[in-house]
């Protein structure tokens, strides 16, 4: 389980594994109640366990009602986050549909640009990409990322800064390519 890499002590790793086996289905049911989609609910549970791995100190007894409520709450919050992101995407799609046929190339251009931005992130060197994922996807603090990766906090800041420069350069090249393609049309 990759989650266990986030946890320092063997006792907490063992506790995490028991929590995972005991509560994953309950947490999935909570996420399903919010999202009504099996795959999105699985994503929500995954995100909830990532959050739990960072906050293992908040867990007391595995069998306690407090622990069960805490896990239900983080699963519900993770599901709500996914629901909000999907809702924003749906609203954006509706707005794009309302633009009309004359603006359709712009709509395709924007979705192509979104995909290109994702490609830029995927092509980042692993040492930058991993830090970015932990920082902006899992929302960890620099000190937590440093502890998790076994590097200095200054190194985390440096990789974020250098990664941003790499992304900026790649996006600038992408934008230049888009402008060149538009000139040809």
Residues 183 and 110 in one domain: yes
Would you place residue 140 in the very low, low, confident or very high pLDDT band (cuts 50, 70, 90)? confident
Residue 123: CATH number of its domain? 1.10.10.10
* Per-residue pLDDT tens digits for 4-16: 666 777 888 888 8
pTM over cut 0.75: no
**3-state secondary structure string across 85-121:** HHHHHHHHHHHHHHCCHHHHHHHHHHHHHHHHHHHHH
pLDDT score of 114: 58
Structure tokens at 38: 């099996």
Taking the C-alpha atoms of residue 19 and residue 15, their distance in angstroms, rounded to an integer, is 6
Would you place residue 104 in the very low, low, confident or very high pLDDT band (cuts 50, 70, 90)? very low
What domain range is 13 assigned to?
1-98
Taking the C-alpha atoms of residue 22 and residue 16, their distance in angstroms, rounded to an integer, is 10
pLDDT score of 94: 57
SS3 33: helix
Taking the C-alpha atoms of residue 137 and residue 126, their distance in angstroms, rounded to an integer, is 15
pLDDT score of 116: 67
> Is the model more confident about 63 or about 136?
63
Largest pairwise CA distance in the chain: 66
Using the predicted structure, report yes or no on whether residue 110 has a pLDDT greater than 90.
Answer: no
Burial class of residue 44 in the structure, from the number of CB atoms within 10 Å of its CB (0-12 exposed, 13-18 middle, 19+ buried): buried
Examine the fold and report which residue of 37, 68, 98 is the final residue of a domain before the chain moves on: 98
Residues 73 and 107 in one domain: no
* Per-residue pLDDT tens digits for 142-162: 888 888 778 899 999 999 999
Taking the C-alpha atoms of residue 57 and residue 67, their distance in angstroms, rounded to an integer, is 11
SS3 8: coil
Residue 40: CATH number of its domain? 1.10.1740.10
Residues 88 and 105 in one domain: no
End-to-end CA distance of the chain: 50
Would you place residue 182 in the very low, low, confident or very high pLDDT band (cuts 50, 70, 90)? low
Residues 76 and 94 in one domain: yes
């Amino acid at each position: 389980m990759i989650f266990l890499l986030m946890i320092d002590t063997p006792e907490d790793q063992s506790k995490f594994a028991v929590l995972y086996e005991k509560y994953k289905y309950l947490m999935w049911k909570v996420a399903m109640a919010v999202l009504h989609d099996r795959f999105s609910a699985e994503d929500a549970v995954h995100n909830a366990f990532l959050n739990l791995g960072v906050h293992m100190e908040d867990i007391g007894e595995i069998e306690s009602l407090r622990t069960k409520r805490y896990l239900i709450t983080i699963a519900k919050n993770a599901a709500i986050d996914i629901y909000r992101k999907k809702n924003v995407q749906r609203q954006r799609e509706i707005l794009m549909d309302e633009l009309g046929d004359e603006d359709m190339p712009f709509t395709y251009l924007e979705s192509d640009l979104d995909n290109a931005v994702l490609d830029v992130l995927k092509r980042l060197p692993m040492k930058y990409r991993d830090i970015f994922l932990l920082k902006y996807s899992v929302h960890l603090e620099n000190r937590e990322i440093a502890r998790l990766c076994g590097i200095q906090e200054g190194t985390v800041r440096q990789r974020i800064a250098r990664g941003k420069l790499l992304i900026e350069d790649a996006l600038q090249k992408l934008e230049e390519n888009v402008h060149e393609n538009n000139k040809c049309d």
